[in-house]
Structure formats: structure tokens, C-alpha cells
Amino acid sequence: MEHLVKRSIATIHARFHEPLSLDDLAHSAMISKFYFLRLFRRVTGVTPGRFLSAVRLHEAKRLLLSTSLNVADVSAEVGYSSTGTFSRRFSESVGISPTRYRRLQHADGSLPPEHTRNGNATASLTGVLNFAGAPDSAVYLGLFSSPILQGYPVATATATAPGVYQMRNIPSGTWYLHAVSRVADSSQGPHPEAPILIDRAGPLRFSANTSLTTDLFLQPSDWTRPPILFALTGLDPLPCAPGPVPPVPLVRVPSQPRRPRRVSHAMAL
């Protein structure tokens, strides 16, 4: 049944700027919205609304780096009727404001500074990293509050090769572990649409002095993965849209921006 989810994700990538509803996406998959919701979450790990929101914000990132549109026009272009709401959600998801993110096009590829941890962060996490292919850069690992790589991590680590990783000073809570690296045969520029290796684990529940073990197997990102929202300079490809699934063909993002339009949100996130 994955092809039904693939069809709906093609619809999201083609029509993210429209006020898509759960009914619209279920109709594109040609199944009831209740079954569609369960199926979509099982395949992607997130709800259709959260996937749609991630695609919109990632397209906003692309427009901020590749066009001269102002923030208000970018907001309208990706389906927001309120620039304030867009800026707030962008900042919460990407970790920095739209204006600051635009300045990253001249960044050196370094990661944002680590989140300040409190004195009660006493848990730890360890595991083994394996790869389906050779990484071309350090592996970034972070614990986030969402199954989508967004927001700001409560703990981070890096690994330079397959092997054991360790994360310390983890605060109590329920977190998702994300790992990202670039594929070794990438030969494109500093902000390419290059393939990446990625994996996710969770939810992981930590309390004081908890020590967990979680192994990861990084493999190329595919159409089931929501796009990366957190500002990982140099590890931030455009979202991997699925191939065309009749009767809904995949529409590629145009090289020139569309005329800004303002629409309202019709799907609860």
C-alpha cells in the first residue's frame, strides 16, 4: 500500500502552496481519510499535516537562499497567509529566523552552537554507526523533540567514521535521535541537491542517570523521509520527492519563483 502514500506525497510536493486538507490528500490516495492517516503515519513516521508543513518550510529555505524575495513574499509563496506565523514556525523549526538563515549562503559550513544544557542533564546514549555507503563528511547526531529533524537539539555528537558514538549530558524527556552525513561520491557545491545518508530512532525516553544503547544504520534518504528543517549547513539537500504516480504526476519546483499568493491553512498541524 506504500504506493498510495507515495501518490499523496507527490501531491504535497506539487501543491504545497495550496490550502491542502486531509480530505484532499486522502482523495489523491483514493482511500478513506481515517485509513489514510494511519497508513501515512506508518510509512513516514509523521502525520500528513506535519509532512506538509515540513515541505512548505523547506521550500521557504530554498527560496531564501536562491531568490531575492523578501520574507513576506516567501511566506505567501509557500502557503502562509500570515508572515508572523510563518516567521515563528520557521524560527522554531529551523533554529534561526528567516533573515538569519538567508545569511547562511555565505557560511563556512560549521554547525550552529550547541544548546545550553541544565545541571540536571545526566543521562547518556551510546551505540554503533553503520552505513550503506561511504560518508564524505562527519556524521552529525542530535537528539530532537520531533521525528522530523527540526527545532533545536538537546544533545549533539559527531562521528568521523563507522564505529561507536557517545552522547552525554542528556536531559530527562522523550527524544528522537537523528543522524545525517553526506554520501562520499557527491561532487557538487556547498548547497547542493546532493544525496545524504540518514537514520532516525525513537522515541527514546530518558530519566536521570539513564544509559541507553541505540545502533543506527545510515542509508540514502528517500521519498518517505520528511525534509530536514534544522539549519545544518552543507547537509541540507532539497526534499526527496517521489517519482510520478498516475494520476498525480510529480511537478518539479520551477527555477523561477511563482507570483506570491496568499492562502490560508486548511490542515491542522
Domain containing residue 200: CATH number: 2.60.40.1120
Q: Is residue 97 part of a domain?
A: no
Average pLDDT over residues 18-22: 91
Counting residues of the chain whose pLDDT is more than 90, the rounded percentage is 54
Residue 239 banded pLDDT, cuts 50, 70, 90: very low
Q: Is residue 145 part of a domain?
A: yes
The secondary structure of 183-227 as a DSSP string is BTT----SS----EEEEEEEEEEE-TT-EEE--EEEEE--TTSPP
Pairing relationship of beta strands 123-131 and 163-170 according to DSSP bridges: antiparallel
Q: Is residue 31 part of a domain?
A: no
| Cell 498525480 -> residue | 248
pLDDT at 20 over 60: yes
Average pLDDT over residues 100-116: 60
Q: Please give the pLDDT value at position 266.
A: 43
Q: What residue numbers bound the domain in which 168 lies?
A: 123-220
Q: Is residue 101 part of a domain?
A: no
Average pLDDT over residues 265-269: 44
- Give the C-alpha separation, 244 to 252, whole Å: 10
Average pLDDT over residues 151-166: 88
- Give the residue with greater pLDDT, 152 vs 264: 152
Q: Is residue 141 part of a domain?
A: yes
The Cβ-side half-sphere exposure at 239, using a 13 Å CA radius, reads: 34
Q: Is residue 160 part of a domain?
A: yes
Domain count, the chain: 1
Q: Please give the pLDDT value at position 62.
A: 92
- Give the residue with greater pLDDT, 257 vs 30: 30
Q: Is residue 200 part of a domain?
A: yes
Q: Please give the pLDDT value at position 119.
A: 55
Q: Coil, helix or strand for 27?
A: helix
